[in-house]
Structure 1
Amino acid sequence: MQLKAAIDEFILYIEIEKNYSTHTVTSYEYDLQHFLEFLTNHQCSTDLNEITKTLVRRFIRYELSTRHQQARSVNRKISSLKSFTKFCLEEKYLQHDFMTGIETPKTDAKLPVYMTVKDLQQLFHSLEQDRSRLAQRNELMFKLLVTTGMRRSELVSLTWEQLDFTNETVKIYGKGKKERLLPLHPQVMHSNGL
C-alpha cells in the first residue's frame, strides 16, 4: 500500500471512529503529509513496506538540522508516525513497524510561568478601565480564563448555550470531547457584561 492512501485511511479512522477533535486530526494530517513530502522530495519510495528506520532517522535529522525545527515539534511528528504505524499494523497495511526503536530527541523541561496575584489585579484593573469597543469582551475572556482554568481553545469555542447563569456554571467540552462543569466565579458574574 502507498503511504498517501494509508494516511487517508488513518485520518478517516481518527476522525470518524476515534472522534478526535478537529485540531488533533489536522495536526496528525499535517505531520504525516510532511513526512510524505520529505520522502517524495528526496526520491525515496512511498510504498509502506519499503520505509525503513533509516529513512525516519534521516527525516528527524532533516527536521532538526535543515529545517531548524524545535525538538518539541519533531517529537510530535514522531508521535504521529508511531500512532500511524500502529494503525497500519492493526489493519495489516504494514508488515514491519519502521518506528520501532525510534526515540524522541531530548527537550528542555520548561516550567510554566504563572502570574502573581498582584499581576492579575493589575491586569483586571487595566481591563476594567478600558473603554474601547471590545473592552467588555476582553475583560470577560481574561476573567473566565483565570477563574475557571479552561484552555484557550475551550474559551474560543464557547457558546451562550454553555453558560448557565441560574446555577452560575459553564459547561466545557475539553480534549477528547469530554464534558466538564465549572463554576462561574463572582468576578465573572458581576462583570458589566453579564
Structure 2
Amino acid sequence: MAMVTPLERSMRGWLDHLRVERGASPHTLRAYERDLRRYAEHLAGRGIDTADRVTEGDITDFLATLREGDADHQPLAASSAARTMVAVRGFHRFLTLEGDARIDAAAAVSPPKPPRRLPKAIPLDQVERLLAAASVGDTPASLRDRALLELLYGIGARVSEAVSLDVDDLDFESATVRVLGKGGKERVLPLGRYAAEALTAYLTRARPALATKGTGTPAIFLNQRGGRLSRQSAWNIIQAAAARADLPGHLSPHTLRHSFATHLLDGGADVRVVQELLGHASVTTTQIYTMVTVQQLREVFATSHPRAT
C-alpha cells in the first residue's frame, strides 16, 4: 500500500476545509483534487513531499509545465492553466493562514491571463438577412420578432434591457427610448427610423391581439399568453431567425449588440459616444470593439496588399 506523504495529507486537509467550512460543491472539489494531484506529481518529481519545502520557483516551473505540456500531459490553454493555479494558490494560502507554512510560496506567481476574446459581430448584409428572416408572414408573433430584432440592433440594447421595456419608455415624438441598464443606470437612446417603423407596426397591429390574452402588463414585448417576453424567448427568436436566414455560426441577442457597436465604430463614431450608447461604466470596456475593427483592417490588408505577406 502506497504511503501518503505529508504534502498529500496537507492537500486533503485543504479539500476537507473547503467541503466542511466553505461548503464547496462536489464538482468543485473534484476539479481541485484533480488539479492538486497533478501538482503533487510535479513536486514528487523534484523530491518534494512536504509543503514547507516548496519554493516560488517550483510553482513557476509547474505553471510553465501546464502551458508547455510534458510526457504525460498535453499543454493546457491559458484558461485551463489559470483554473489549475487557482487550486494551487488557494492551497498555499490556506497553509499560511493555518500556520503550516511560514510564507505563501504561491503569492507572487500570477496565473496566465486568457487571451481577450473579441466580440462576435456580423457584417451588415448578414444583419439585414437576419432581420428579414424574423418577419415570416404577417402574424402578431412575426411583427413582434421583427420589432425586437430591429430594436436590439438599432439601439444596441442588452436583451435583458429590451424585454424589460414598457410602452411608456418609448417616445416616438422625440424618437427616443428610455432604457434601464446595469446598476439601475438609466440612459435615453435615439431610435432610428427602421426600429421606429417596426415598433409602430407591432404596437398597432400585433400587440393588442397578444395583450387580450394577458392581464394588462405594460411590457412592450409580449409572449403568446399576453405576458412579458422572457430573455430565453428572445434568445430563441434570434436563433430561429438565424436558422431561417441560413447564417453561419452561433448567433445570440448579444450578437446584435456587438454588431451595433462595431458598425458604429467602422462608420467613424467616437468611442466615447459608443460607450454612452452601450451603457458601459468605463471606456475600457468599449475599447475592445476597436480591436475588432483593427482586426478587420489587418485581414483586408493581408488579402489585398501585394507586399503584405
Question: The TM-score by the shorter chain falls in which range?
Answer: 0.5 to 0.7
Does the 8 Å contact 2:93/2:107 carry over to 1? no
Structure 2 CA distance for partners of 1:118 and 1:32, relative to 1, 3 Å: same
Shift of 1:17: 1.4
Alpha-carbon RMSD: 2.7
Please show how residues 72-151 of structure 1 align to structure 2 within 5 Å.
72-110=79-117, 117-120=237-240
* Structure 1 residue runs without a partner (length 5+): 124-194
Residue in structure 2 matched with residue 33 of structure 1 by the alignment: 37
Residue 34 of structure 1 aligns to which amino acid in structure 2? R
Residue in structure 2 matched with residue 52 of structure 1 by the alignment: 55
Q: What secondary structure, in the 3-state scheme, does the structure 1 residue paired with 2:68 have?
A: helix
Per-residue CA distance 1:109-128 (angstroms, 9 max, x = gap): 235769673324677xxxxx
Shift of 1:82: 1.3
Does the 8 Å contact 2:67/2:75 carry over to 1? yes
Q: What secondary structure, in the 3-state scheme, does the structure 1 residue paired with 2:75 have?
A: coil
Structure 2 CA distance for partners of 1:23 and 1:112, relative to 1, 3 Å: farther
Q: In structure 1, how many angstroms separate the alpha carbons of the residues matched to 2:90 and 2:53? A: 18
Which of 2, 8, 25 does residue 4 from structure 1 map onto?
Answer: 8
**Rg larger for:** 2
Shift of 1:96: 1.2
Residue 2 of structure 1 aligns to which amino acid in structure 2? P
Question: Structure 1 segments of 4 or more deviating over 3 A?
Answer: 111-116, 120-123
Residue 8 of structure 1 aligns to which amino acid in structure 2? R
Q: What secondary structure, in the 3-state scheme, does the structure 1 residue paired with 2:103 have?
A: coil
Structure 2 CA distance for partners of 1:111 and 1:26, relative to 1, 3 Å: farther
Higher relative contact order (CA 8 A, sep 6+): 1
Structure 2 CA distance for partners of 1:112 and 1:20, relative to 1, 3 Å: farther
Does the 8 Å contact 2:78/2:113 carry over to 1? yes
Shift of 1:93: 1.2
Shift of 1:54: 0.6
Q: In structure 1, how many angstroms separate the alpha carbons of the residues matched to 2:237 and 2:93? A: 46
Q: Identity of paired residues, percent?
A: 20
TM-score by length of 1: 0.57
Residue in structure 2 matched with residue 68 of structure 1 by the alignment: 75
Residue 82 of structure 2 aligns to which amino acid in structure 1? N
Residue 81 of structure 1 aligns to which amino acid in structure 2? V
Residue 103 of structure 2 aligns to which amino acid in structure 1? H
Q: In structure 2, how many angstroms separate the alpha carbons of the residues matched to 1:48 and 1:110? A: 36
Per-residue CA distance 1:69-102 (angstroms, 9 max, x = gap): 1111111111111111111111111111111210
Structure 2 CA distance for partners of 1:47 and 1:68, relative to 1, 3 Å: same
Residue 32 of structure 2 aligns to which amino acid in structure 1? Y
Residue 29 of structure 2 aligns to which amino acid in structure 1? V
Q: In structure 1, how many angstroms separate the alpha carbons of the residues matched to 2:41 and 2:60? A: 15
